[in-house]
Amino acid sequence: MSEAIAQWRGFKAATRLGWKISSNWTQPLIFVIYSVLRPLSAAFILVIMYRVISGGAPGTGAYLAFLVSGVAFWSFVQYGFAGLSNGIVEDRGEYKMLKYVYTSPAHFYVYLLGRGLAQLASAAASAVIVLVVATVALRLPIHPLGVNYPLLLSASFLALLAVIGMAMAYGLLLLQAVDAHGYGELGSGVLYVISGAIFPITVLPGVLATLASLSPLVYWMELIRRSLLGSQAIRMFPALSDGDVMLRLVVTTVATLLLAHLVFTWADRQARRKGLIDMESNW
Amino acid sequence: MDIAVETKALRRVYRSRRQEVVALDGIDLQVRRGERFGVLGPNGAGKTTLIKILVTLLLPSSGEAFVDGLDVIRQFREVRHRIAMVSGGENVGFGMLKVREQLWMFSQFYGMPSAQVRRHIAELLERLGLSEAADRRVSALSSGMRQKMNLIRGLITNPRILFLDEPTVALDVGAARDVRDEVRRWMAEDPSRTVILTTHYMMEADELCDRVAIVNRGRIVAQGTPAELKQQVQQDAIVDLQLSPGNRLLDALRAVDGVAAASVSEQDGIDRFSLHLSSDAALSGVMRVVEGSGRQIRGVQKREPTLEDAFVKLVGRGMAEEEQA
Amino acid sequence: MNHPSAIRIFFKTIVARAYPRFVGSHRNLTWLVTETLLPLIGTIAMIYVYRALHAPARYLGFVVLGGVLLAFWQNVIWSMATQFFWDRGGGNLELFAMAPTSLAAILLGMALGGVYMSLTRSAAVLLVASTLFGIGYSTASLLPALGIFVLTVCALYCLGMVLASLFLFYQREAWQLADALQEPIYFLSGFYFPVRSLGAVVGGLGSLIPLTLGLDAIRQLVLPGTPQFVPLAWEVVAIVVQIVAYGVLSQVSLRYLELQSRQDARLILRST
């Protein structure tokens, strides 16, 4: 069996495993309801917050679309980042199988990519349903035929690479802790604040705004809104063209992946040196 | 006769959408006060289900059960004051607590006075050789130490009836002996105390129990003292035959004239056949079958019957074979 | 046979079950990071949403007070409602159920142990967020506000006991159910906006959760200008009624749970 086939099989098994863990606890319909309940509620919270302040003034559609699109696509970060990094810790602490995966011929990267892909599949379902429901319910200015799909898909592809890279590195870092409960959510919480998902990063104080401008997520959010809403999008970077924003997304994604690789390699070495892969931990 | 535990036609069926499993199928049992009573059987025989019903964690599907004269179905709250259960391989409690803290915590669920219970814990830790581990976190204990701690948890609440569910499973020889010794000592302190022990270790039941019930597939197939049970195979000659590995031979041996029962287990790469022969003459038939099989004989010896032999005689096959069935 | 009284066992159980939580929070300090930073980040994110909308200062206060009570809801969901489910997985539930104590005492003990963490978390949100964003509160009605806070927490824990019985009927989906009781409840309880904005029907539905009315009442007392959902006195009465109703319901449901679980082997079947 060639090496490539072995890795492909490992990848498929990891994807299948990740999907089963996240979805096979219930019937498909209940799974879909569960998947959209949280992001939909989060969107409605923001809608009410906005309506309370704006009082339904003209031009509300664009701002609501800004909020809803941010929440809908945030599912990818929630599932991809918190889900995958928690999954690594969970594989060690609860399922006690990390050591077997780690020592299998499938490359650890490949396994984690597979697990991450399963998380993103859940997120995609959630994002689409939230977007459709909110667009119809709130009459948002999003028209399926007017969406710039190439821009949306290429930006999302890059951003999700960055998300999975960050999640892998963060998950490996979490192996250092005996009790890493809640740290996945903590990490995604920090990203939430500096991603421009629910408010423009211009309201952040100087240091946080600078930090946010180094994150690929903020350019991704900008491109999502531009691709969905076109000229009606509320822009965080009005001075930048679509190409400029894409260029920044590419640069920050590459930088993030490089940094993630360095952190992953360091954390991996530490984990092996300290015997953390099969450590008894709290879960 | 003073009865500590009694069951009448006890039956328990586990139902799920796909299947129905009869775990207990009409168990009639009487355990006398002051007895060390063993429930012996292979995995899946229904031993643990029986214990869970008696300790009020599970309701029977039908039948009755009484513990210390109290109905476990209706008077379960009162029953709980009088019992304790310790299961083998248990990993319960809170890893970040120290051993003595964990023991104290469980005692409080029984309303024990703290000062008295702390003294009692110290005594028991000393007796079981755990004094040095008293201030160690539970998560740092070895499995042997953990099981001793679990036994102490069962003893500190001063139960009248102690249920031990496979208490020495996965323990090394020394730790298992310590657990058995402590059970004996605890019983000796007060003759009104009763122990019900489930196990699939024949030696343990033989060594520790005054009386034993052999359970298989949810039914009691025999009960009595270990000596009485072994008596059932006393007329047979028990021969252990050690053979090199090879083709399946058990059915051919069972078919030999004069072989009343046979079982096999594998140990260190050698098949150990245990044969119940109604007469010594049957041995020549056995040898012919062995020679025909091409297997090499590594050893033959006649020995005294054990509870395992009684089980084989009663059920028709060995415990390991029964578990796989 | 003489044995300790039920009331003695009840109180001893509460103390004993709170003990590991209390001790654990001192021996393993990692919770401090997640328990304080995570809600703080969530609160700050919502404050920035209002900032971006140029909302009046009291709206930032709404978010902070929501964040304070959110800690208790999280404690009820993760440390009380789901607790029997986790305990069953670890094998502890068998030992709790087999002891001559009550499951309500076990749950109260867990909640008491968790209050310490929740208070730390609430205090961190209140102090840090209020200081960072310069949010002021009226102290004229501080005592009544504290009283309502205590009543709300009591009602919340009674509801938590009802939920705990419900959760034992779940297997792996228990985690997802607990997860689903987050944002939807933040929405229904008006954690980040005035409850009145929900309207009579949704607000009325949300009021089944004690947090909704408690939060609105506390906001009315310490943040002048809060749009009133229902008059303060009604809210207090409703919370007291909820304490009684959920208290009684919890006892009934726990008894039912115990009987049903003995029937269905739910006390002994472990799930992951």
What is the full DSSP assignment across C90-129? HTHHHHHHHSSS-HHHHHHHHHHHHHHHHHHHHHHIIIII
Beta-carbon separation of C99 and B109 below 8 A: yes
Lowest-confidence segment of A103-112, A117-126, B12-21, C170-179 by average pLDDT: C170-179
Domain membership of residue A223 (yes or no) is yes
CA distance, residue B152 to nearest chain C CA (Å): 14
Minimal-distance CA residue of chain C relative to A188: C38
**Is C38 in contact with A182 (Cβ distance < 8 A)?**
yes
The amino acid at B36: R
Beta bridge partners of B277: B237, B259
B235-304: which CATH topology?
Alpha-Beta Plaits (3.30.70)
What whole-number distance in Å separates Cα of residue B38 and Cα of residue B88?
Answer: 15
Q: What is the mean pLDDT of residues A127-152?
A: 92
3 state DSSP class of B269? coil
Q: Would you say residue A104 lies in a domain?
A: yes
Q: Which of B2-11, C27-36, C51-60 has the lowest mean pLDDT?
A: C27-36
User: Distance (Å, rounded) from C-alpha A79 to C-alpha C199?
Assistant: 32
Quick check: C100 and B91 CB within 8 A? no
User: Residue C180: what are its φ and ψ, rounded to 5°?
Assistant: -70, -15
Number of domains in chain C: 1
Q: Most C CBs within 10 Å: which of B57, B118, B156, B157, as the mutation test of the C interface?
A: B57
The three-state secondary structure class of C269 is: coil
Q: pLDDT of B72-119, one tens digit each?
A: 999 999 999 999 999 998 888 888 899 999 999 999 999 999 999 999
Whether C15 and B104 lie within 8 Å, measured CB to CB: no
Residue A283 lies in a domain: no
Residue C20 falls within a domain, yes or no? no
Mean pLDDT lowest for which of B155-164, C23-32, C127-136? C23-32
Tens of pLDDT, residue by residue over A61-115, are: 888 999 999 999 999 998 899 989 988 988 888 888 889 988 888 888 888 889 8
B55, B96, B104 member nearest C24 (Cβ):
B96
The H-assigned helical ranges of chain B are 47-54, 76-81, 99-108, 114-127, 143-156, 173-189, 202-208, 226-231, 250-254, 282-293, 307-315, 319-324
Chain B residues within an 8 Å CB radius of C17: 105, 109
Q: Which fold would CATH assign to domain B3-230?
A: Rossmann fold (3.40.50)
Q: What are phi and psi for residue B302, nearest 5 degrees? A: -95, 140
pLDDT top residue among A242 and B268: A242
Residue C270 lies in a domain: no
Please indicate whether, in this complex, the C-beta atoms of B80 and C100 are within 8 angstroms of each other.
yes
Confidence tier at A2 by pLDDT (50, 70, 90) = confident
The tokens describing A106, both together, are 């499938």
Query: Which residue of C37, C41, C181 to mutate against A (max A Cβ within 10 Å)?
Result: C41
Give the relative orientation of helices A28-54 and C30-52 as an angle to the nearest 10 degrees: 50
Q: How far apart are the first and last CA of chain A?
A: 37
Q: Searching chain C, which residue's CA lies closest to the CA of residue B16?
A: C264
Give the closest of A49, A179, A182 to C28, CB-based: A179
Share of chain C above pLDDT 90, in %: 66
Residues of C in contact with B56 (CB under 8 A): 97-98, 262
Domain that holds residue A132: 3-274
pLDDT at position C270 is 56
SS3 B304: coil
Pick from A23, A25, A67, A192 the residue to mutate for testing the C interface (most C CBs within 10 Å). A25
Q: Which of A230-239, B245-254, B313-322, C192-201 is predicted least confidently?
A: B313-322
Q: Which of C165, C85, C73 is nearest to C111 (CA)?
A: C73
Q: Does C169 touch chain A (CB under 8 A)?
A: no
Distance between first and last Cα of chain B: 39
Asked if pLDDT for residue B200 goes beyond 90, the answer is no
DSSP state of A145: G
Neighbouring CB atoms inside 10 A of C247's CB total 17
Of C38, C72, C52, C251, nearest to C154 by C-alpha is C72
- Cβ partners under 8 Å of residue A273, min gap 6: none
Q: How far is A185 from chain C (nearest CA, A)?
A: 7
Q: In what order do the strands lie in the sheet with B259-267?
A: B259-267, B270-277, B237-243, B297-303
C-beta atoms surrounding B142 within 10 Å: 12
Nearest chain B residue (CA) to C22: B97
- H helices of C125-231, in order, are 130-133, 142-167, 173-180, 183-188, 199-206, 210-222
Looking at residue C97, what is its pLDDT? 93
Task: Considering only the beta carbons, identify the residue of C34, C172, C192 that sits closest to A182.
Answer: C34
* 3-state SS assignment for residue B246: coil
Contact assessment for residue B94 and residue C20, using Cβ atoms and an 8 Å cutoff:
yes
Q: What is the pLDDT of residue C272?
A: 43
Rounded average pLDDT over C105-131: 91
Q: Which two tokens stand for residue A3?
A: 């090496």
B294 or B100, higher pLDDT: B100
CA distance B60 to chain C (A): 8
ipTM of the complex: 0.89
What are chain C's partners, defined as 3 or more CB pairs within 8 angstroms?
Answer: A, B
Type of residue found at A222: E
Q: Provide the pLDDT for residue A58.
A: 62
pLDDT at residue C75 above 70?
yes
- From A49-58, A70-79, B254-263, C196-205, the region with the lowest mean pLDDT: A49-58
Predicted confidence band of residue A237 (pLDDT cuts 50, 70, 90): very high
Domains identified in chain A, total number: 1
C137-146 pLDDT, tens digit per residue, is 999 999 999 9
Residues paired with residue B162 on neighbouring β-strands, in sequence order: B84, B195
d(CA B107, CA B154) in angstroms, rounded, equals: 9
Say what the pLDDT of residue A281 is.
Answer: 66
Q: Do B109 and C12 touch (CB under 8 A)?
A: yes
SS3 B165: strand
Of B94, B108, B110, the CB nearest to C15: B108
Binning pLDDT at 50, 70 and 90, where does residue B30 land?
very high
Hey, what are C196's tokens? 């009145």
Nearest CB partner across the interface for A52, out of C28, C31, C194: C194
Mean pLDDT across C12-22: 94
DSSP A21: H
Domain that holds residue C54: 9-14+27-264
pLDDT tens sequence across B231-244: 887 778 889 999 99
Burial (CB count <10 Å: 0-12, 13-18, 19+), residue A225: buried
Choose the weakest-confidence range: A262-266, B30-34, B251-255: B251-255
Q: Residue B97: its chain C contacts at CB < 8 A?
A: 19-20, 23-24
Q: Biggest alpha carbon distance in chain C?
A: 71
Verify whether the Cβ–Cβ distance C1 to B93 is below 8 Å.
no
Contact A185 C49 (CB under 8 A): no
Closest CA to C77 of C19, C163, C158, C187: C163
List chain C residues with CB under 8 Å of B24.
none
**Contact call for B83 and C98, based on CB within 8 A:** yes
Residues of chain C with Cβ-Cβ distance to B57 below 8 Å are: 94, 97-98, 262, 267-268
* Residues across chain B: 325
Strand order in the sheet with B161-165: B83-87, B161-165, B194-199, B36-40, B211-216, B219-224
A19 in helix, strand or coil? helix
* Interfacial B residues in 59-78 facing C (CB < 8 Å): 59, 76-77
- Judged against a pLDDT cut of 80, whether residue A178 lies above it is answered with no
Residue B23 confidence (pLDDT): 95
Tell me which residue in A41, A185, A204 faces C184 most closely, judged by beta carbons.
Answer: A41
